[in-house]
Amino acid sequence: MFDDFYGLTGRPFQLTPDPEFYFESVTHRKALSYLGYGMAQGEGFIVITGEVGAGKSTLVAHLMNKVDPERLTVGQVVTSNLDGEELVHMVAQSFGLDIEGHDKASALGAIEEFLHEEARAGRRCLLTVDESQNLSVEALEELRMLSNFQLGSHPLLQLLLLGQPEFKATLANHEELEQLRQRVIAAHHLDAMEPSELQPYVEHRLQCVGWEGNPSFDQRVYAELYQATGGIPRRVNQIVTRLLLLGAVEQRTRIDASMLSSVMEEMVNDSTFPAAAPKPMTKAEPAAAAPAPLNHAPRIDAEQVEAMLASRDAQITELQQAVVELSDAPAVPADLSHRISALEARIDDQEQSVRHVLTILIEWIEGDERRAA
């Protein structure tokens, strides 16, 4: 909706990682330096940690866009609560290997044979493991064993581990991970953006979809947006998406601080912000049931929205009639004054309801590519 209103060619603040929108903040530039150094070594572990939404996956996607597939083969695992054997099979699948029998020994044999073939073809292999904070110590040890594969003295597999801050603490303090710690050749923690980087970040993503200054943003919006998000990119994306949606609904060409306050109030009331960081899962504590996706919510169709708008228009007409009566009256009757106040409150509530329903509809549609099409 708002992309059409503002003449944009796409959604600039989607929550899924997209290397096309990569923004090189100071902390991301440092991370790339560590990644470059680590990958030049061609062995061991590289570890990148950061808060939820700090941009770890986008950073890696940006890096993968730059590698030559003729020289580097990349497998990717996004973990849940996997044990060692399950992780080995996930690694095999990430490299496109179909394991007969589905036993661990067969999977390890297939992985080693694949790594040897790639080495003989002149290609290095890199395995990226996202959400590493969910891995058990057993699974992390399996990854260390995979890093032992060699062809002569040449290591066959390098690993890049991405995780939330608790993974950094686990790796540093767990007594059973000493051997893995000794194989970490580069590590970096992604910090939040600096306050001065917030405006360039927002404008960079807008420019990626053809923004030419409409809408414009008050400077105060950036200062308050940083206070609300702490400079975490995904949080910024959440709020600016809502701001643009509100701007389109109200046909605004300038985003101001009052609009930001309205959006923040709505998000707090919806319990959608600030988002709590998911905690690593354990066998003893199964993950709580995920919240129902938007498309499982009670159905809200266009007829309902039109009915709400019609109700609002009728109330506005009633209020206008009351104003006419008030202007003709020699004094303001108490009952008429009370009636006007009640109508104003009802209209305000109706406006909030319509805006909320439109937000839900648009997020429901944009949340699925098939519905968007």
Mean pLDDT of 158-186: 94
Range in 58-72, 95-109, 342-356 the model is least confident about = 342-356
C-alpha atoms less than 13 angstroms from C-alpha of 362 in its C-beta half-sphere:
19
* Rounded distance between C-alpha atoms, residue 350 and residue 315, angstroms: 9
**φ/ψ (deg, to 5) at 184:** -80, 115
What is the fold, at CATH topology level, of the domain defined by 26-190? Rossmann fold (3.40.50)
C-alpha atoms less than 13 angstroms from C-alpha of 123 in its C-beta half-sphere:
17
The radius of gyration computed from the CA coordinates of the chain, to the nearest angstrom, equals: 27
Determine how many CB atoms are found less than 10 A away from the CB of residue 225: 25
Residue 271 has pLDDT above 80, yes or no: no
Q: Where are the domains of the chain?
A: 2-18+194-283, 26-190, 295-372
Q: Does domain 2-18+194-283 have CATH number 1.10.8.60?
A: yes
Would you state the pLDDT for residue 133?
93
**Confidence band of 320 (pLDDT split at 50, 70, 90):** low
The Cα angle at residue 211 between residues 205 and 216, in degrees rounded to 5? 95
Range in 8-12, 49-53, 72-76, 266-270 the model is least confident about = 266-270
Would you state the pLDDT for residue 67?
86
**Confidence band of 116 (pLDDT split at 50, 70, 90):** very high
Would you state the pLDDT for residue 282?
40
**Confidence band of 373 (pLDDT split at 50, 70, 90):** very low
Question: What is the model's pTM?
Answer: 0.69
Residue 292 has pLDDT above 50, yes or no: no
Range in 95-109, 228-242, 280-294 the model is least confident about = 280-294
* Rounded distance between C-alpha atoms, residue 302 and residue 308, angstroms: 10
